[in-house]
Amino acid sequence: MAKYRPTAEDKRIIRDCAQRSAGRARVEINPGKRISLTQDRGQHFNIALVSDHPSWDDTDLYDNAFTWGDFTKGVELTADGRAIVDFYVYETTGWKELMTNVVIYVEGGQLVRVTGVGNGTMWSKA
């Protein structure tokens, strides 16, 4: 299957949104893997592969022990070129407390939107 591999500009956009959402100059960003609760669709970084629900209410966090490096190696896309990835954003000092989440949306194999918890849409492709 095709994969979405973020460009240098995509990475800059995601990192900028994560920093703004967390209110921090430096953050650690890790993708979460989600699992389907209603169907046998397994678990994946790409939420669109395990859920058709608009708010992913039929999924749950399966594992967040993955790294930014795991994400940059590529995320498998749906047959129509979509991906939704939920990132956990941590501070880099002290206890590395979870600060927020940012979510990216990929369509046609390209980054089209980034949202932040409590921030709404933080970036979208014009």
Per-residue pLDDT of the chain (126 residues), as tens digits, is 799 999 999 999 999 999 999 999 999 999 998 888 887 777 788 988 898 878 888 777 777 778 899 999 999 999 999 999 999 999 998 888 999 999 999 999 999 999 999 999 999 997
Structural contact between residues 106 and 76, judged by C-beta atoms closer than 8 angstroms: no
Q: What is the pTM of this model?
A: 0.92
> Which range marks the domain in which residue 30 is found?
3-119
pLDDT of residue 5: 97
In a domain, 125, yes or no: no
Residue listed under structure tokens 């959402």: 21
Number of domains in the chain: 1
Grouping H, G, I as helix, E, B as strand and the rest as coil, residue 80 is coil
In a domain, 124, yes or no: no
- 126 lies in some domain: no
Tell whether 86 is covered by a domain. Answer: yes
